[in-house]
Structure 1
């Protein structure tokens, strides 16, 4: 799998096909996300060790697992939000892959433990989106995942709702897409109109992005 040294995308994927998608623009951007989560935790352990207290790295692993557990359980506190999850996700990837992470990483929870693996399927671009991300925060946001074109069409042709509305717009606008589509909600402050700015993410590989005829 192509390796850029830092993860350009990390997907936290729940069993029900929902989750989060986060994008890191550069190694510096990724490292900043990692450090913003890791450093405050390790700083709290500065000074002489306290007998019976967990080692700093053990405490860090517990903190990562706690944050990601909340994300999988759909119980992220409002004050943490998607951006807080993006930092815990970055710290998780750094802990697992150390110096060089895959270009795309997937975090899943199967029968309890977290599984962190290269997301090689997102590099294959089958012509429909495997992930559609609401690119609302600094690093991304909530996402919907699809395992097949049938799965995608079923969701995209269902009536939109407050928790699932972006796939319907992607389906209406595009006949073929890269494996990842990100949509940033926009609002016109003067006229009160809302729109979505889309980008297809190909990870440097050939990928289709074809608008539907007549759109």
Structure 2
């Protein structure tokens, strides 16, 4: 995924009201940017950090800037969760995710379950439908990527819905995309959200698949790098 416009380097001043940040540009001016990340962003909102923001090209947007990346210990981390589906779909089209190849049709945001929408529905006449739920991962502790970084009732609901899809003869895959390249493995953060951890264990025990890929990060764009193991 290439950014549609060059990113602007800035310094993070503060994050507040969850979806807003104040940042200082190199010329000293201060701007407000949208933070498209509903999580706690543990370890990723330290004032004084070097960040990158992008110009908001949506004429209906209330803010001129969007927060895209932060540098943490010489590594770039993508914080914009709205990019995750595009990153994943580009990887699917390039056949970089071996577990999800061999499907003829890809549909987005298809209604399923109880008032839910699946991120991607993969279809082929020769095999069961494959429901793919995509999660953006940014939290890192030691050298392990972890999800979630805050309590997510919505995430628990998705796991229940995916389990139901398997029970009805479909394939269901949780695809965790780590928007950073400095993690050797992935695990569920059971200390942050025990309910999600329990639901994940139940879902995978009942046929829901889970796979995790990290990313190559640059100020020009983000792309899938390779699979990393999931610690159980």
Fold agreement, TM-score > 0.5:
no
TM-score with structure 2 length normalisation? 0.24
TM-score with structure 1 length normalisation? 0.25
Higher relative contact order (CA 8 A, sep 6+): 1
Q: Which has the higher helix share?
A: 1
Q: Which has the higher strand share?
A: 2
